[in-house]
Structure 1
Amino acid sequence: MNITQRISAAPMSGYQWLIIALCTVMNCLDGFDVMAVAFTGPSLVEEFDLTGSQFGLLVSVGLIGMAMGSMLLAPFADLIGRRPLLLISHVLSTVGMFGAAVSPSATVMGFFRLLTGIGVGGMLASTNVIASEFSNTKNRGLAIGIYTAGYGIGATIASLAARVAVGGDWRIVFYVGGFGTLLSLVVIALLLPESVAFLEQRRPRGALERINRTLTRMGLDPVSQTDLDQAASAREKDGKAGAGWLKQLLTPTILLWITFITIMFGFYFVNSWTPTLLVEEGLSESAAVTAGMAISLGGTVGSVLYGFVARMRTPRVALIGFSLLSATMMVVFIVSTSILWLGFGIGVLVGALINGCIAGVYTVGPPLYPSKVRSVGMGWALGMGRIGAILSPTIAGMLRDAGATATQLYIGAAGVVAICAVVLVGLRRYDPESVPSEVKEPATA
């Protein structure tokens, strides 16, 4: 049994939950980053005299950077280590946030948004893997749910900063983000260990000592050099088998990509455009920010809620339910905002459900792939999902300029999210967590 298998089988220690908490903090930066632009949208549009398409492009630039970071920076995590890449990504994000705060024009701000996105993308690709590697099998869904909840926490902090900045200087929001990222850099440098899976496979200098130090903190027995040699030999033999994995998994891979694209399309539409659309529909800027904050607050608990539901039903079935409910509540939300208290309450539900969908795709994806290609499969799925994230604000801006109302845009985005449920039904035969239960029933009868 290699180290990863030992961690999967052993109970979770307090140290492992600390690592999950650190990953959650880093995911907060993603939520703050995206919502920093969303909540300051009305002020940005006014100061830089932006059209809907231009504002949508400004939002998309950051998302393009995230896709670049996920697909271009992430591979270096297998070369230099997860921890060094996270530190580099933090530096890029810190520079990008402070740069956005002092930007004199939309063009300059777009450059720093791209830089911030690259840093955040590098972080997300690594933290998702670390959270999974340090979790055991029983609690992996819950751990990923807690990790995903970090987005909602970061978005809520961004909304609070935006409320302070309403009527004042929108640049305050980006200064807060810059200082927060800088603080996270210091904390990660002091507390986060290198991935034991990376140390076991790459075996850099001092790997054995670093592995055993981390295992001791996790309450697990140390390993010997012989153990590492035997695990390496087993991986080498396993690597010679199944060379045609890509062809075998082509169909579920495409279905997973579509799932990521549709969920992220709806997720980033809700989180990027809601405040601006509500202002254009007649709400005050303060009320629009509060509505966006309601969605963010819901997001902080939605992913954890999904984690508990996924312990009772298979993750794929749970995600089907969350996606259908998300689409329904998105429509209900936009037609109920004229009644503020009702709209805010439903906004909490929208945030919880759509954020739960993000936790769902992070949980459904990994079991589709064998362990030796799981990082590659999930890495590209995350990168492809950013297509939906990039297209969402851009298409919304173009349609808004063409005369589409907020209600029409929300209904369209809800339709895209509903497609996810259909795709997940088609994914059933490839899901190892669904197939066994379906096979056992006839045998039992």
Structure 2
Amino acid sequence: MEKSDHKHAVVTVAICFLIAVIEGLDIQAAGIAAAGISEHFGLDKPQLGVFFSAGILGLLPGALAGGRFADRIGRKKVLICSTAVFALFTLCTVWVNSFHSLLAVRFLAGAGLGAAMPILITLASEAVSPQNRGRAVGLMYCGMPVGAALLSLIAATDFGSNWKNVFYLGGLLPIVVIPLMMLLLPESREFLQAQNQAESADNAAPKASFKDLFNEDNRIRTLCIWVSYFFTLMVVYIMLSWLPSLFMELGFSRKEGSTAQFYFMASAAIGTIILGMLTDRWKKAYVIILMYGGMLAGLFALNGAGSLTQMYMASALVGAFVIGCQGVLYAFGGIVYPTAMRGTGVGVGSAVGRIGAMLGPAIAGQLLAAGFGAAGVISAAIPCIIISAVFMLLLVRRIGQ
């Protein structure tokens, strides 16, 4: 039995990791393809900003619907459907011929991706024992920076210099993974068990609703998760969107900025795994203090980087803790909510986080336009980190871990 449980967990986490790699590719894709898309469609800077926002905006309804349906009809079915939606509309990005249709397909691709993310977290959480949830989510989520780092390398080749190839890659890879999911991905045993219990109790599937997030048991937990997701993702997306520009603002070349971004993503993959493992082994409060303290240290190091080596080291430090922290927060979503509403809880939390993800880059852009420079953007991120840390410590106290 233990052997079959182990195989179940390995297959689930491995397939979820592959989908997370594809998410990482997509996160980098818009930035890498921006110059080519701008030229092809004749876009100005504000229109390009709207193009960036369309994909992130799609993540919102996707995350809400994906988690909800996963609690109703099963994790596996919804993950396959959402991956197919993402693949189809990513390929459509290459075939559309107007700015408005470009925005529509980016929004719909984002919705597919947004629906997949809470299900990946839920599946990885439920494939292992409660004692190993942080590790499982960390191993799964490290696929995101791995995908982003891979696309950074691909972008430096002749293949990556054509913006259409970036979206062909992003659309065809999930089509390859879908048959693997259909054949190999097991449905969550916890979900099946909860469904069977509910059916034997009242002959109906478990019906967790959005209002259950605010019942007596979950109200404080939900509030803490929402605030932490919101402010942490705000910082994550400021870094993801503006890092190359911030490096240039600090006096480094575009090529040096791209290299630093690779260091950022490579160390993010390692940080996500290590922080995920520590979540299972340490007291949760220690992990939170370490990860938010590490984020602050990384931002101060980035602001004070005088040489190229210092900048690369600061980028690696920021990447390890900023992206690693996101992985830990997702693991907490899996720990905090019971099985019948885990998909809903993580999905709504992800959607709230995506609002922060949309606002963060826009606020950073305004600060840069107002002349505050890289130091102003980095300083603005510091209160966000402190607020997130305080609410996560409150959550840990609430759940007694």
- TM-score category (smaller protein): 0.7 to 0.9
- 1:372 Cα deviation (Å)? 4.1
Is residue 381 from structure 1 mapped to residue 375 from structure 2 by the alignment? no
The change in CA–CA distance for 1:70 and 1:247 in structure 2 (over 3 A counts) is same
The change in CA–CA distance for 1:257 and 1:154 in structure 2 (over 3 A counts) is same
Q: Percent identity?
A: 26
Is residue 348 from structure 1 mapped to residue 316 from structure 2 by the alignment? yes
Once superposed, what is the RMSD of the aligned Cα atoms? 3.2
Is residue 182 from structure 1 mapped to residue 175 from structure 2 by the alignment? yes
Q: Which runs of 5+ in 1 are unaligned?
A: 1-5, 203-227, 434-445
Deviates more, 1:393-402 or 1:89-98: 393-402
> Is the CA contact (8 Å cut-off) linking 1:89 and 1:119 kept in structure 2?
yes
Is residue 294 from structure 1 mapped to residue 241 from structure 2 by the alignment? no
From 226, 240, 243, the counterpart of 1:271:
240
SS of the aligned residue for 1:423 comes to helix
From 412, 415, 419, the counterpart of 2:383:
415
SS of the aligned residue for 1:139 comes to helix
The letter of the residue matching 1:360 is V
Q: Which runs of 5+ in 2 are unaligned?
A: none
Deviates more, 1:157-166 or 1:20-29: 157-166
The letter of the residue matching 1:170 is W
Is residue 425 from structure 1 mapped to residue 393 from structure 2 by the alignment? yes
**Aligned equivalents of 1:139, 1:367: Cα separation in 2:** 10
**Aligned equivalents of 2:301, 2:130: Cα separation in 1:** 37
SS of the aligned residue for 2:161 comes to coil
- 1:162 Cα deviation (Å)? 1.8
- 1:273 Cα deviation (Å)? 1.9
> Is the CA contact (8 Å cut-off) linking 1:38 and 1:273 kept in structure 2?
no
Match of 2:59 in 1: 66
From 330, 334, 357, the counterpart of 1:362:
330
**Aligned equivalents of 2:258, 2:97: Cα separation in 1:** 24
The letter of the residue matching 2:144 is Y
From 163, 179, 182, the counterpart of 1:170:
163
Is residue 394 from structure 1 mapped to residue 365 from structure 2 by the alignment? no
**Aligned equivalents of 2:99, 2:289: Cα separation in 1:** 39
SS of the aligned residue for 1:403 comes to coil
Is residue 92 from structure 1 mapped to residue 85 from structure 2 by the alignment? yes
- 1:62 Cα deviation (Å)? 1.2
Deviates more, 1:192-201 or 1:83-92: 192-201
Deviates more, 1:326-335 or 1:251-260: 326-335
Is residue 153 from structure 1 mapped to residue 146 from structure 2 by the alignment? yes
Deviates more, 1:279-288 or 1:297-306: 279-288
- 1:405 Cα deviation (Å)? 1.5
From 131, 139, 148, the counterpart of 2:132:
139
**TM norm structure 2:** 0.87
The change in CA–CA distance for 1:196 and 1:155 in structure 2 (over 3 A counts) is same
Deviates more, 1:159-168 or 1:422-431: 159-168
| Structure ID, larger Rg | 1
**Aligned equivalents of 2:4, 2:172: Cα separation in 1:** 36
**Aligned equivalents of 1:28, 1:301: Cα separation in 2:** 14
The change in CA–CA distance for 1:429 and 1:200 in structure 2 (over 3 A counts) is closer
**Aligned equivalents of 2:294, 2:327: Cα separation in 1:** 15
**TM norm structure 1:** 0.79
Match of 1:210 in 2: none
> Is the CA contact (8 Å cut-off) linking 2:8 and 2:186 kept in structure 1?
no
The letter of the residue matching 2:391 is V
> Is the CA contact (8 Å cut-off) linking 1:145 and 1:306 kept in structure 2?
yes
Is residue 255 from structure 1 mapped to residue 247 from structure 2 by the alignment? no
Match of 1:125 in 2: 118
**Aligned equivalents of 1:244, 1:133: Cα separation in 2:** 19
The letter of the residue matching 1:50 is D
Deviates more, 1:124-133 or 1:166-175: 166-175
Match of 1:333 in 2: 302
**Aligned equivalents of 2:70, 2:288: Cα separation in 1:** 29
**Aligned equivalents of 2:278, 2:38: Cα separation in 1:** 40
**Aligned equivalents of 1:315, 1:56: Cα separation in 2:** 38
- 1:344 Cα deviation (Å)? 1.6
Match of 2:25 in 1: 32
